[in-house]
Structure 1
Amino acid sequence: MPRSDTPPELRAAAVGGPADGRPGRDAPLWILVVITAIGPVALNLFVPSMPAAQRGLGLSDAAIQLTLTLYLVALAGAQLIYGPVSDRFGRKPPLIFGMLCLALGSVVAGFAEDAVQLVSGRVLQAIGGCSGLVLGRAMIRDRHDPSEAASRIATVTLAMMLAPMLTPAVGGYVDQWLGWRAGFWVITSIAAAIFVAVTLRLPETHHDRRPMPGLAPMLRAYRGLLADRGFLGHAGAAGFGTAAFFAFVAGAPYVIIELMGRTPAEFGLWYIVASGGYMIGNIITARLASRVGPMRMLAAGAIAAVAGYGSLILAAGLLPMAPMTIFLPMTGIALANGIILPNATARALVAGGTGNVGAAAGLAGFLQMGGGAVASQVIGWTRGDDAWPLVFVLVGCGVGTLLCTRIAWGAERRPG
């Protein structure tokens, strides 16, 4: 078992466990669901409006992709900060700060007149929306031991799955009826409502305040994980799978709306179909993982991924360019990722040893969002007059997923 270099502060912050023993009220579950979902909602509501925003502001392909790329970069970096900050100051103050950032970023983006203003607003949105992703589950862990928290975390996770699935369809209709800026006013309104609810109704759940870990201990923990082949294999498989999703989010609106001449609303409805594949993969994992084991599930996901990416190449090469040509193979890829991501992430959290759970969670999340940022920007650099640039980037992500799965298998089978 690899040695743990994680300092006690990180270890305590990361590993779930019983409540700290202080009396207090549970956080209302509906608030936890909303704050967890708002980050993915803010990310995906704008996706169908990207072509219209590009035309309206006269932006280049690379510039409009930055609205997604830098959103993901900010989301990745903020994940590494909110946890330690909330351990030091409590859960509620960072969450209030996050909702203020989300509302401010939405206002900035809604009034944007150039690329700098639009991208700056999106970055602020990401910093704010990330607070709920990190702190929602932390507040559940504060008041419950792991077994009691399971049902609440399952509900919160369902919200994280449904939000990206349904939001693009809503965003497509908002864009079609009210224009591309209207989505930002929707997010501003939601953020303001959450701010009021958090301020008035959400109790503080974390009373055992700890000092923030220093930079050096955190870097030592991350360096140890990056040297572990098991962690790299599992986190890499999850990272490339996530990159494929964000490459699709970045490239599909251009292909469907601009090249095929379809409406943002139609894009959003097709997006639900592809997202349904991911949900099916998650359901398969939930039903079978405890009996089959994560490594066999990971292998099954890899086989499904080969079928999905293979069908994408065949459809792009042999069939006329139509939404079905892109979305049906992507549904198969999404199903494979619904199996790969939860199993690879679960193994990544323990690959470096029991003392590295927190550092592994933060670094794995950073790699997933960072990979998504790189893939989305590559889409912006390579888009052309057909769907092949999107296909090539997706297939590249698929190859990376399979290679990392092979590394993970080798590390798991290695003695010791």
Structure 2
Amino acid sequence: MSLTPKARFLDRATPPHIATLILLAGLSALSMSVFLPALPNMTEHYQTEEWVMQLSVALYLGVNAILQIFIGPLSDYFGRRPVILWGIAAFTLASLACAVAPTPELFLIARMAQAIIALGLVLSRAIVRDMYPQDQAASMIGYVTMGMALVPMIGPAIGGYLNDLMGWQSNFWMLVVLALALFWLVYRDLGETHQGHQTSLANQFAQYPELLTARRFWGYCMAAAFASGSFFAFLGGAPGVGANIYGLGSTALGFYMGAPAVGYLVGNYISGRFSVRVGVNRMILWGTVVTCAGLLTCLILSYTPFDSAAVFFGFMCFVGLGNGMVLPNASAGMLSVRPHLAGTASGLGGAIMIGGGAILSAVASAASAVSVGSSTLVWIMLITSVFSVAAIVYTIQREKRVGAV
């Protein structure tokens, strides 16, 4: 057992309650997607092009990717608690700036600053690892991940409703209020769980070449990056497709945007239930194939009279399902390539995955803005998913040829 004292709720002399960690990770997930149904209204408000406002997804993801490289080492050096509290404070100010930004340029700058809340997901997992031994930590991280999976189901629906009721700015005012409440909760409940200063940032970066020369690490990274890339392409392109192609209002669009999260929840359950029995590699392969099969069917139907919002968004459940099977197992694969560099692998792998997602989100946003149907977006997602299949097939073959190298 860990020597960390038992958590007592609202006692910062002890580690945090698991509910605090779920809420911390949940705000990180909510900030990514809650405002998406309001993008058409935001475009009209700022009198700009649709693709400009859709950059709010890609730029957010890009900054998120960069921050993931630094958040872990900084928390190792300064401690989890101060990094989280300063990060939430910065996120609160950034959310306020989003709500009152007078120009699209200032809004996008504030939106990039919001990416600091990425520390919610990164450090909630790190804190669990501080508190519990390995096997128990895996179980507790599962609770945090499950809570995160629920947020994207309801977040866009809430955002769409608030947009119709009080305007798009209400989404960011809600984030301000939630961030203030979370700051209070973390201040009261989250005691420091990391003891002592660890390796410096310079030493952390000095370990990267050992990972970057490991082909299996790249295989798992690319499988995860392309699998999640199809979802990030959805985030970038689906608001435009829903509003412009299918004529959905904000509330309806918010409801439909939650479709991948339903599949992700099921995929997470399948991973937890069968990964040990089936094996990491086969689970990743099955997940990528499931995604491709769903997107291929959706693409075929997009050229028929059956094309509709219900069909398009319904088949996005397969993207979530595949991601739920791929991402936990690909993450485990990344960490297993060089076990003594697990922390470095986690940060670098996350940065590669989110960075690739940022690029695909921008491409999908631009494509959907000029598309006359949903097929363009589905093509982008399908091609991305095929690359994910290729990455895991390469990794499996590499492992068979030369072993764990």
TM-score, with structure 1 as normaliser = 0.90
1:366 aligns with 2:354: no
Aligned-pair distance for 1:54?
Answer: 1.0
Cα–Cα, structure 1 residues 180 and 154, in superposed 2: closer, same or farther, change >3 Å? Answer: same
Aligned-pair distance for 1:311?
Answer: 0.5
> In the alignment, which residue of structure 2 is the partner of 1:158?
146
Distance in 1 (alpha carbons) for counterparts of 2:280 and 2:158: 35
Please list, as runs of the form range in 1=range in 2, the aligned pairs for 1:346-357 lying within 5 A after superposition: 346-351=332-337, 353-357=338-342
Query: Residue 196 of structure 2 is aligned with which of 187, 203, 208?
Result: 208
Distance in 2 (alpha carbons) for counterparts of 1:144 and 1:306: 37
Query: Residue 191 of structure 1 is aligned with which of 179, 183, 189?
Result: 179
Distance in 2 (alpha carbons) for counterparts of 1:203 and 1:105: 25
Distance in 2 (alpha carbons) for counterparts of 1:315 and 1:137: 40
Letter of the 1:168 partner, please give it. Answer: P
1:99 aligns with 2:88: yes
Greater mean alpha carbon deviation, residues 367-376 or residues 134-143: 134-143
Aligned-pair distance for 1:22?
Answer: 11
> In the alignment, which residue of structure 2 is the partner of 1:179?
167
1:140 and 1:152 in contact (8 A); partners too: yes
> In the alignment, which residue of structure 2 is the partner of 1:13?
none
SS in 1 for 2:101: coil
Residues 87-143 of structure 1: per-residue CA shift (max 9 Å, x gap): 11111111111111111111110001212111111111111x112112112222222
Distance in 2 (alpha carbons) for counterparts of 1:109 and 1:19: 42
Aligned-pair distance for 1:21?
Answer: 8.3
Distance in 2 (alpha carbons) for counterparts of 1:118 and 1:319: 39
Structure 2: runs of 5+ lacking an equivalent: 8-12
> In the alignment, which residue of structure 1 is the partner of 2:129?
141
Residues 364-410 of structure 1: per-residue CA shift (max 9 Å, x gap): 10111111100111022222222232122111211211111121112
Please list, as runs of the form range in 1=range in 2, the aligned pairs for 1:11-30 lying within 5 A after superposition: 18-19=2-3, 25-30=14-19
TM-score, with structure 2 as normaliser = 0.93
2:292 and 2:382 in contact (8 A); partners too: no
Aligned-pair distance for 1:165?
Answer: 2.1
2:40 and 2:50 in contact (8 A); partners too: no
1:88 aligns with 2:73: no
1:310 aligns with 2:299: no
Distance in 2 (alpha carbons) for counterparts of 1:166 and 1:281: 18
Letter of the 1:399 partner, please give it. Answer: V
Q: How many residues align?
A: 396
Letter of the 2:330 partner, please give it. Answer: A
> In the alignment, which residue of structure 2 is the partner of 1:31?
20
Greater mean alpha carbon deviation, residues 38-47 or residues 60-69: 60-69
Please list, as runs of the form range in 1=range in 2, the aligned pairs for 1:258-273 lying within 5 A after superposition: 258-273=244-259
Please list, as runs of the form range in 1=range in 2, the aligned pairs for 1:221-370 lying within 5 A after superposition: 221-351=207-337, 353-370=338-355
Letter of the 1:110 partner, please give it. Answer: A
1:319 and 1:325 in contact (8 A); partners too: no
Distance in 2 (alpha carbons) for counterparts of 1:319 and 1:342: 37
1:397 aligns with 2:387: no
Aligned-pair distance for 1:227?
Answer: 2.3
Aligned-pair distance for 1:271?
Answer: 2.6
Aligned-pair distance for 1:212?
Answer: 2.2
